[in-house]
Structure 1
Amino acid sequence: MHRRSGLSARTKLTISYAGFLLLAGVLLLAVMWVFVLRWLPTDDPRSLQRTFGGVVFIGPSRADLLRGFTPAAATALAFLLVFGLLGGWILAGRMLAPLTRIADAARMAGYGSLSHRIRMKGPDDEFRELADVFDAMLEQLDSHVAEQQRFAANASHELRTPLAITRTLLDVARDDPTRDQGELIERLHAVNTRAIDLTEALLLLSRSDGKSFTREPVDLSLIAEEAAETLLPLAEKRQTTLDVTGETTQTVGSAALLLRMMTNLVQNAIVHNLPAGGTVTIHTEPQHGASVLRVENTGHPLPSELVPALTEPFQRGTERVRTDEHAGVGLGLAIVHSIVRAHDGTLALAPRPTGGLLVTIRLPDQGLSRN
């Protein structure tokens, strides 16, 4: 950015300090002059004579005082001007030093370096508060950029894998015309379906982060029943019992996004469960001014230190998600987290002592969402 050249803030403050000091000196000298004039006699020689103990004293006249006062006043004002400029320049520099540090940090951030922090010391004043706010902003930006870079790298890897599989299958079909074409077509269809699912999940993740959706009243209990009914065949196939409990729980948001959130949670609970005889419990209830959803499933024990990573894209349990024809796209809980955040809610994950996972979501209820 190009700016028009002009006086710097330090120069302006210096001139302001010096001007104020000079004005104060002028006013002080003016008051002294007026005060002295009240007690000075006129220039009449008789009015200048005073007799004390038989001795005659002749006092100064106004003209005499004016001749002596004017050079002294001019010298004092010149000294105040020089002193004001020098002192103002030093004081302005000290006052603006924190802003210079903040400007340097902002300039480094503009060049792409987000790791620099101001960490300003000193009293807890406005400059310290501004520096702390700027450091917090840089911390969030740095974390967000790192997350986006990690997400882009993972997404690129996940998208590259089905494309590589597709190319391999096409090469096989070209090099071996006698191979069963029906089998190749079926595998190509499966790989292509997975790539489409992954792309749609990425688009949904970006759309939910933008909060660009229409809000309407939504009953989480009905959403839970719909998701359970949709995934019942999958649960029966994996010999998992679905149990929906609770009461009417109203919130405000996108019914489509909240249904996708619920479906992802229930599907994740079914897939990451015991091989047979597992259970998934879905519970909804209004609680303390919030709409609460809990999805609890049995399963293998999860290390508590790895649970927070489950909401990161392409992460599952203790291992990174593999991309093959039967695996998920690895964005289930990441999409859930994004949808919850877009609805101004909170998401909490906790491992169950006997194995499995407990997911608790708190969304603003219908009354709070309207305010």
Structure 2
Amino acid sequence: MTAALTVALSALAGCGGGGDGGTAAPASSTPAVPAGAITITSGNAGGLTAEAVDAGTAGAAGGSATLLTGVEVQATTSAQPSAWRRLPALLRLAAAQGGASVVVGVTVDRLVECTVGSISVTGNQALVNSASPGDTLNITFNDCFEFDIGQVSGSMALTIVQANANPTLFVADGTLTNLTLSRGTRVDRLSGPLRLSFDDRAGSQTVIDATSSGLTYTRLVNDNLRSQRTLTDYTYRAVITASNGQTAETFSYAATGNFERLGQGVAWSASTTQPLVTPAGAARPASGAGRILGAAGRSVAVTVTPTGLRLDIDHSGDSGTDTTSDLTWAQFDALL
């Protein structure tokens, strides 16, 4: 692989680390609720919360069934990184040395072997020794399986928007096409436009941003379709620090879709109001809060507790709290 493509892939592959302390991820504003907004009740607030957090973190809330981090976690209540933080492991595979490679001028055609299956990487670049705006990467996962990642199929096409030579900054616009992440009993499938960025220029923290105008995100468990949703106005940010090893995540989006537990054509909007902060080595966030909006001003205010989540439910739409309930992490996982 030529230097520019190696730099570009390595930049994204470095997303898992970071500097120290620094700025926490900002809280998010909640987008407008789409048509078909769900009528929030005490009975459906738990299932809605599980779906909302799962969608916002791109699978980070779903327990160990889809863990794709390179470290096996056996406990069923163990959380996993977001899909956006799982991409670096996939890109490390794509940037792996060895395998068949053909370079003609500034065009790359490369095949990387997995334990089972393979990854095809093609690309075009303007300069031989550096990444520059307009360079392209096309990565296809051919039922690629690695023991520490799981099975991956589908593809991503990336066009570089901005990059530096270090590399400590990488911004790319792309399209995911049936990018399918399978682990255990759970399958996550993502398609749609995406802007993905990695910024480590400060040297004190790593910031990962993902945004999409219309991301299709499907979840299956035991081959059963649990959710099929379209996320609009989607924004996600993770700030990773090295001095204390913590990750602070925020998100906001509007969702419309079909859900096994919630019904067909269901819609809501959701956002974090305080970053979800997960200490180094922890399975779950230690702090954070968010808000889910449904029909007629009804909402759920969600707050992280030592054992799970507290739900302050407004099912009358008067901006007050009508009912409060607690959701343990085990109950949360069961709802997915």
Asked whether the two chains share a fold, i.e. TM above 0.5, the reply is no
Q: Report the structure, 1 or 2, having the larger strand content.
A: 2
**Higher-helix-fraction structure:** 1
TM score, norm. by length of structure 2: 0.21
Bigger-Rg structure (1/2): 1
TM-score, normalising length: structure 1: 0.19
Q: Which has the higher contact order (CA 8 A, sep 6+)?
A: 2
